[in-house]
Amino acid sequence: MKFIIGLVASGKTTLYRKLNEEKICNAVEIELPNSCDGDEKLQKKLFYLYYNNKNIDMIISHPMYLYRGWYKRLNKNDTIKILNVPKEERIKSIDKRSKEINSKQILFTEGFIDFEEDMLEQLIKNLEYKNIAFEIENLEN
């Protein structure tokens, strides 16, 4: 299984659409409503539902939607790629999207953006500590 991990406005959904529309691979994107934030049981069930499905080649997700310790369950053939888009670029993309949908509210607060940056940094530290191979793909929107 291939895993693509990215934060808000890192290109996850665009990649998901491209891979499936162009029939490059059978990818799924894990998305959960805020009401399910932190629901480890649900996250774990979704992970295994997709991970064990032979029709799925790739799981694309924000680290928030993967249950704690998911990476410990991977086998040696699995790969992890982390999409790294600079914070400033992601904020520009979020602002642009807000204008496109005429949102009068802030879609993602600066506090949330900082929180998810810290979350990704912690994931990278955990992967390094467990000697789990991963690749960081530096992107700009």
2-16, 37-51, 85-99: which range is least confident on average?
A: 85-99
- Residue 141: pLDDT over 70: no
Give the chain's domains with CATH numbers. Answer: 2-138 (3.40.50.300)
Bridge partners, 82 (sequence order): 5, 136
Longest dimension (CA), the chain: 46
Asked whether residue 17 carries a pLDDT value surpassing 60, the answer given is yes
4 burial type by CB count under 10 A (0-12 exposed, 13-18 middle, 19+ buried): buried
The residue type of 73 is R
> Which runs of consecutive H residues, i.e. helices, occur in the chain?
12-21, 40-51, 87-100, 110-129
Banded pLDDT at 140 (limits 50, 70, 90):
low
- What the block records as the tokens of 1 is 């299984």
The pTM is what?
A: 0.92
pLDDT at 101: 82
**pLDDT tens digits, 71-119:** 999 998 999 999 999 999 999 988 888 888 887 777 788 899 999 999 9
Structure tokens at 83: 């999409």
